[in-house]
Structure 1
Amino acid sequence: MTNVIDESGLLAISTRLQRLSDQLRKDGLKIYESYGIQFEPKWFPVIYTLHKKPILSVVEIANEIGYTHPSTISLLKELEKKNLIKSKKDKDDERKRLLYLTREGETLVEKMQPIWDVMVKALEQLTNTSNNLMKAIDEVEYQLKLQGFYQRAELIKENKSK
């Protein structure tokens, strides 16, 4: 059964992507809980990034995960309170904070790696459709880098007024 948002097509793409993201996060939380792990899916980008690149500045993390600086700071504060990450001052630039996983954070990653394997297999089943969602996301992100949604809309508006 469809609803108004489903019927609105591209106009509601952001809403539908948010809905999809919410469902994946909700189920991701259930998966972690089923393994006895207390882990919020929203923490994943920072934890995974610091697992792959062990010491990064706040700006570097924000760039890696594609979040704004304020959103990144908020997430980092939460992770520091949970003792999953720590920071230290950069020896070369005292204003700069360098972040890294704590021993507790590293242990958590070790426990989660087999779970990530299971998640990847389940996500492959979900996304390996005739239109392959990950390929489509890559293509759309590339198009946005070439020219943003706003810029495209402005050009269309300008061309309509001519």
Structure 2
Amino acid sequence: MNFYDHTGKMAIGSRLRLLTDKITEDAAEIYKLYQVDLQPKWFPVFHALSQKDNTITGIAQLIGHSHPSVSKIVAEMSKKGIVTEKKDKTDKRRNMVGLSRKGQEIAEKIKDQLTDVNSAIEDILSGTRNDLWKAIGEWEFVLEQKSLLRRVQEQKKLRESGNVQIVDYKPAYAAAFKTLNEEWISTYFKMEEADHKALDNPDSYILKNGGAIIVALYNGEPVGVCALIKMNDPHYDFELAKMAVSPKARGKNIGWLLGGAIIRKAKELGASMIYLESNTILKPAINLYHKLGFRKVAGHKSPYERCNIQMELALETI
């Protein structure tokens, strides 16, 4: 096991397969020892059917296997004469699977084997410091809450977000500010007059009017932008606008980092309420705004045809 000691926990799948292979090899020999005509992979289906007849769907749900997997095993057992299929008496559209006479004989014959195997497993557990059976149950429960894939995706995002730097706007980022916004707007909608005002003249339209722009750099390259536009409104101080992230940089937590940074910027500028406009077709963006604390409002006149949702954030509450 020196190889797995060296690779560590990242090789957990390979190590579990190795353990499974060892147990499966022994299981095949155990069936021979007791002269039971079963394959180890059939056991969950066989055991379920030894309790009661069932449909393939019902068996799959009971043992946690896929429908195609159970269907294949039932077909293999049927060829061996261990199971039979027949129409459900209460619903002719369903096929019920049950043990044949040969299968019932095996169910009786296997009892001694199951008793001995259970005792052998208990003997193994008594010789270990950790109860593998309980640990498997714990892993299954935890992975049901969040899969290994999802956890790796989160770790990837966390690691990559460490290479993201949020900086204040400067003229060198003017092209990126315009290009990144034009890219997403043109993908989903059309450029409007208010877009051109902000993107063609960010210094005069946003910065000189008391607003702010921030830029997300990934490994030094501008891949995300966001702005605060000063509002002439008695209720709102700034509009959060022109947030854009390059498609090639998505999945790196950049939207969340930009959102948090622009909210802090608004606080630094003395804001108490900020406002934004969006469209519900942009589901990831709407979800992000909700996570940042924004809540839906209505009634504000918008200069954008594409706007179908308006949101606000009270800064004193966060």
| TM-score by shorter chain over 0.5 | yes
1: CA distance between counterparts of 2:7 and 2:148? 18
Q: Larger relative CO (CA 8 A, sep 6+): 1 or 2? A: 1
2: CA distance between counterparts of 1:5 and 1:87? 45
- Give 3-state SS (helix, strand or coil) of 1:67's partner: coil
- Give 3-state SS (helix, strand or coil) of 2:37's partner: coil
Candidates 122, 125, 129, aligned match of 1:124: 122
Q: How far is the alpha carbon of 1:103 from its aligned partner?
A: 1.2
Query: What is the RMSD of the two structures over their aligned residues, measured on CA atoms?
Result: 1.5
Q: Does 1:100 align with 2:98?
A: yes
- The one-character-per-residue Cα deviations of 1:48-104 (angstroms, maximum 9, x if unpaired) are 01112x111111111112111111111110011111111112244433211111111
Identity %: 34
- The one-character-per-residue Cα deviations of 1:26-51 (angstroms, maximum 9, x if unpaired) are 11111121122222111101110111
5+ long unaligned stretches in structure 2: 162-318
- Give 3-state SS (helix, strand or coil) of 2:38's partner: coil
Q: How far is the alpha carbon of 1:3 from its aligned partner?
A: 4.2
The aligned residue for residue 26 of structure 2 is: 27
- Give 3-state SS (helix, strand or coil) of 1:56's partner: coil
Greater helix share, 1 or 2?
Answer: 1
Structure 1: which amino acid aligns with 2:33? S
- Give 3-state SS (helix, strand or coil) of 2:45's partner: helix
User: Pairwise mapping of residues 1-150 of structure 1 onto structure 2 (< 5 A)?
Assistant: 2-52=1-51, 54-128=52-126, 129-150=128-149
- The one-character-per-residue Cα deviations of 1:84-136 (angstroms, maximum 9, x if unpaired) are 11111224443321111111101101000111000011111223321110010
Find the structure with the greater CA-based Rg: 2
With normalisation by structure 1, the TM-score equals 0.91
Q: How far is the alpha carbon of 1:7 from its aligned partner?
A: 2.8
5+ long unaligned stretches in structure 1: none
The aligned residue for residue 153 of structure 2 is: 154
| Preserved contact between residue 77 and residue 83 of structure 2 (Cα < 8 Å) | yes
Greater strand share, 1 or 2?
Answer: 2
